[in-house]
Structure formats: C-alpha cells, structure tokens
Amino acid sequence: MKVIMIYGSANDKPFMEPAREYLNTEAVTFEEHVLSAHRNLSELIDFLGELEKSGEKAVILAIAGLAAALPGVVVMKTSLPVIGVPVPGGPLNGIDALLSISQLPGGVPATTVGLHKKAPANAAMAAHRIIQLAQ
C-alpha cells in the first residue's frame, strides 16, 4: 500500500513538505500528482478510473485551497480512503477550503485535517495508520 498525494495546484507542493518528511522517515511509499478538479477534471477522472481498475490499495491525500473541490471529486470517483488537506491561502486564509472539505454532504465520505502548518504531517500520519491496519 502507498499514499497518493493529489494536488489541486503545483503551488501547494511546498506546503506538503512536512508530509513528505514524515513519509520518508517512516519508509512509506508515496507518489505525487498535480490534477486540478477545476483545470483538468478529465485527467483527474481518468487517473482515478485507472487507479480503481488496477485494484491497487492506497490512501489518497487530496490537497486543495480556496473552494477545495478536489477532495469531494476524488472521493466520488474512488473507493479508496481520502483525506482532504486544506491549504492556507486566499482572502480567507484557508477557512474556505477547510469548510469546503469538512462540510461535504452525506454520501461523500472524505475526512479532513486542520488548517495549520502541522496539518500536512497529521494527514501523512493518519494515512500511515490506515495503511498499517491493512497489513
């Protein structure tokens, strides 16, 4: 099993450095992709479809700011666990992203982490614990 980090924007990659550090320290396999729910939705859906077809097991971290549509789209297109990671930024400093992820409607089971500089590491730790349950 592995962790798949999907970014809504390449600009969000530096924010996730604590997650990469944790995953590397714990020797957790991970991969990263930039696939926006707004700018390249068809590529995102194709990627998730291929992932589902492969039967590969993973925990997905969906990293997004502002409207943060990414976690909701990802969770609707895969049966894998999804952890939304809100990115601080924009006029509301990430509050909009946090609310977008944490207030997803019923039947859209994405979880989320807080909105602070330790959130990326928390997301990686949570994903790691989920992976450990499956081993």
Calpha distance 42→48 (Å, rounded) = 10
- Tell me the average pLDDT across 45-53: 97
Task: With a cut of 80, say whether residue 121 has pLDDT above it.
Answer: yes
Q: Kind and range of the H or E element at 37?
A: none
First to last CA, the chain: 9
| Contacts with 70 (C-beta within 8 Å, 6 or more apart), sequence order | 6, 8, 35, 36, 37, 44, 62, 63, 64, 84
Contact 84, 110 (CB under 8 A): yes
Domain of residue 101 covers 2-133
Calpha distance 22→45 (Å, rounded) = 28
CATH number of the structural domain spanning residue 48: 3.40.50.1970
**In the prediction, which pLDDT does 43 show?**
97
Calpha distance 124→66 (Å, rounded) = 21
Calpha distance 20→43 (Å, rounded) = 24
Task: Tell the residue number behind the tokens 């798949």, with chain if given.
Answer: 4
Beta bridge partners of 86: 64
Q: Indicate the average pLDDT of the chain.
A: 95
Percentage of the chain with pLDDT > 90?
95
Total domains present in the chain = 1
pTM for this prediction: 0.96
